[in-house]
Amino acid sequence: MQIHVVQSGENLTSIAQLYQSTPSAIIDTNELETPGDLVVGQALVIPIDGQFYFVQPGDSLYSIANKFGTTAEELAQINQIQVNGVLPVGFRLYIPPTPKTNTEVNAYIEPYGDQVSENLVEAARNRSQYLTYLAPFSYRIQSDGSLAPPPLDDFAASAENNNASLMLVVTNLEEGGFSDELGRTILSDENLQNTLLDNIIQTAQSGGYRDVHFDMEYLPPDMRESYNQFLRKAKQRLANEGLLMSTALAPKTSAQQEGAWYEAHDYQAHGEIADFVVLMTYEWGYSGGPPLPVSPIDSVREVVDYALTVMPADKILLGQNLYGYDWTLPYEEGGEPAEAISPQQAIQRARQYNVPIEYDTEVQAPFYTYTDEAGNEHEVWFEDARSIQAKFDLIKELGLRGISYWKLGLSFPQNWVLLDNNFNIEKT
């Protein structure tokens, strides 16, 4: 696939001609709603086999070959040029596709209320083909060790029809937030733990789940070892029943990292106990905080680098957001939260207010600012083809197990096209 960033004066026809594609193919791939009105700075995925590279000052055929993991001789042969010939700046080189690597993909899906919206039903049905695991969020632990399930609709059928496995997500959510006291209650009582595990196993077996995923957050710091011991017990019982066990981990950069979100999550222990983990490498920019990229690549890499010091790469699913935020400025702590928006909505909003999309290469994320009808200034950070490809490249570079998305239901068609282009998605 080719990623093209729209420049001033370009249209869909000129872009298609540049890459020997067609406007209709680009429209379909990117699900363009207004193909005649592209946004300057908008990233488009061009559906071609391989990609084109335009020679930059200082390039040689050898440096370009090294960049794309091929050889100068192969590039010369494919492009019918001399290996040691002069490459004019702007010359278009065809780069053949690289072999796909295998990966695992998880996606959480979070129904609200008592019923599953048609939007989520459609997302599960359409995206499960790209998933190893589909993870309904969540089964909430009750104080008596029982589980309160989410509405499930036909998620199981969507997974089965696409050869995806169901992940049973278990949380200490209570009244809309993670409860430290509920966590303490469960982790302090052996009898409650046994009851909880009985219920988890019964639910997993009756519901056709393949993996049990513990997402227990904001646990009291002094519960760190108690949580580890609970996971050891859970792993033994689940393994006896032929079930996998995974955990979600807050994005730490050291074992000593302080804070309510981090201290009870022991990376080394989880890496030893669980079959795999999900690193929640997102929410640097969050609804209640100041405008920031949601998953800046430098911060994401720092978390993964730490994780790799205490666990193997083939146990790590990289967490990735499928959304962005629109902040009203000036940001005030405790003020109005930012609005969560899909990548498609972010592009539509840039078009609506006639502003170009910019791209921060350090954090590998798109952003822009605009002024609304009431005169309020806004700042938007989101994801696009470039930012998601940067995460795919990181996964391949470090040999990670795969990727885990939070969450289905927000439109980001480019992600799925690029995911399929980069990886062979494993099914369990």
Of 281, 175, 276, the C-alpha closest to 231 is: 276
Question: Do residues 284 and 360 lie in contact, with contact meaning Cβ atoms separated by under 8 Å?
Answer: no
Distance CA 254, CA 272 (A): 17
How far CA 25 is from CA of 137, 214, 335, in Å, comes to 35, 41, 43
Tokens 């227990």 appear where? 216
Amino acid at 394: L
Q: Annotated catalytic, 426?
A: no
Tokens of 363: 């954090």
> 209 in helix, strand or coil?
strand
Question: Do residues 166 and 134 lie in contact, with contact meaning Cβ atoms separated by under 8 Å?
Answer: yes
Q: Which residues of 252-273 are buried (b: 16+ CB within 10 A; e: fewer)?
A: beeeeeeeebbbbbbbebbbeb
End-to-end CA distance of the chain: 27
Catalytic residue among 118, 160, 181, 217: 217
What is the separation of C-alpha 352 from the centre of its chain, rounded to a whole number of angstroms? 27
Read off φ and ψ for residue 156, nearest 5 degrees.
Answer: -60, -40
Which residues lie across from 376 on neighbouring strands? none
Tokens of 212: 């049990």
Catalytic residues: 217
